[in-house]
Structure formats: C-alpha cells, structure tokens
Chains A and B, each alone.
Chain A
C-alpha cells in the first residue's frame, strides 16, 4: 500500500535555529496537508498544498510541494519554543477521494 515517510524522525534544535522536515510518498498525491501535534494534544491543521511546485508561507513557516507531487517539505525559520511538537504531512492519494494517508511524523524539540 501507499507509504508516506518523513525524515528526520526527530530533531532537537536551539531556539533561533532553522528546522526542516521532508515528506516523501511512494505514489503521486493529488494534494498534501500538514498538521502539527503538540505533546498530549491532537493534530491541528496548518496548510494544504494542491499544485505542483506550490510554495506557501505562514510567518516563519514555508511549505513546498514537489514538482512530481510525491514529496513536500516544511521549513521553520528561527525556531521558537512554541514550535515544539510533531509535524505530520498527510497526502490524498487519489483525486476525488478523501482518504488521508499520514506520514510518520517528525518530532521537534526546541531548547531555549
């Protein structure tokens, strides 16, 4: 079946450093979403990318969707302690369907 892998599994940074997580799907995706899950919390939607090569920014967060629509990345500039959590990408493998396949997640820890 379809797999969505994320690297790294875990990253520990000092506050102010940048952070990037990469998401790779075994199959082409019609769109990709990103979610953040704080420790003990539930996934919270961050953004959705639909077009090949799309780039979106939210303040310090930059999201990219690959040209082949099989990979994506999330980059955080100048991390803050509030960025702590696990970041999941989630892909919709078939246009018109709603099943989301979540990635394996990247856990981010930020030290002050």
Chain B
C-alpha cells in the first residue's frame, strides 16, 4: 500500500508568513509523529498523536508551532509568523500502534524561510 505522504514537498515562504504542512499517514496507523531534521543531524522530536489526541508536544519549540489531527488520520503542522531559524526539513512518521513500534517516515517537507 501507499506509504506516508507529505505535502508540499518544498515550501519557500517569507519571514512572518504562516505555513501549514500536511501529513497523510499509512492507512490504519494509530500513531503519528512530527520531527524536524536539520542537515546532517538526526530527527528532532516535535509532537505525536494517538488517534486524534495529542499525547506529547514537549518538542514544539515555541507557541508559534502547533499541530492537529482532528479525525485521527491526516495531520497538519502549522508554523505562525515564520522566522529564518524555522528553515529545516519537517518529517512526519506513523506507526501501527502505540509504543514500541517501528515508525514509517514520509519524504518530508523542505521549508525555507527567506
């Protein structure tokens, strides 16, 4: 079946604009995770959901970042008033159930804030 998909794959935005990044997990996967990955570094945890419930948002850098998964499937990561330091690869992953399960990563959204 289809893997995790993310859109857009590339996003260039001007400083101060809001952006919304979408993640479509593997069908039937209960858990969905958001990570940020800087070049040459490992993924950095942002937040995760089980079904529609946000379980842990301790990795969100500040209150400009938010995420939702209203129907327990597709998720959106929103960054308000973007800043240049927000430029990174944003990755979504999903897993079949709650811990500990392997995570399936999507291709990522490359965000560039100019």
List A residues at the B interface (Cβ < 8 Å). 4, 30-31, 33, 42-45, 48, 50, 88, 90, 92, 96-105, 107
Q: Which residues in B have some Cβ–Cβ distance to A below 8 Å?
A: 31, 33, 35, 40-45, 48, 50, 55-56, 58-59, 91, 93, 95, 98-100, 102-108
Q: B100 — nearest CB in chain A belongs to which residue?
A: A31
Interface pair A102/B99, CB less than 8 Å apart = no
Q: Is the CB of A48 within 8 A of B100?
A: yes
For residue B102, which residues in chain A have a CB less than 8 angstroms away from its CB?
A: 33, 45, 48
A44 to B107, CA, bound (A): 11
Contact (Cβ within 8 A) B43 A92: no
The contact sample of 12 A-B pairs, CB cut-off 8 A, is A4-B42, A43-B93, A44-B105, A48-B100, A98-B98, A98-B99, A98-B100, A99-B58, A100-B45, A100-B103, A102-B45, A104-B42
CA distance A4 to B41 in the complex (A): 12
Given A99-B48, A99-B56, the answer on whether A104 and B106 have CB atoms closer than 8 Å is: no
B108 touching A92, Cβ below 8 Å: no
B108 neighbours in A (Cβ, 8 Å): 42
What is the CB-to-nearest-CB distance from A69 to chain B, in angstroms, rounded to a whole number?
13
* Contact partner, A105, options B41, B48, B99, Cβ 8 Å: B41
Is A102 a contact of B100 with CB atoms below 8 Å? no
B55 near A98 with CB under 8 A, answer: yes
Q: Whole-angstrom distance between the alpha carbons of A96 and B95 in the complex? A: 15
- A98 cross-chain contacts in B, Cβ below 8 A: 31, 33, 48, 50, 55-56, 95, 98-100
How many angstroms from the CA of A43 to the CA of B106 in the assembled complex?
A: 9
Which listed residue (B35, B41, B103, B107) contacts A104, Cβ 8 A? B41
Q: Which residues of B contact A48 (CB under 8 A)?
A: 100, 102
7 new A-B contacts at CB < 8 Å, known A4-B42, A90-B42, A100-B33? A30-B100, A42-B106, A92-B100, A96-B99, A98-B56, A99-B48, A105-B42
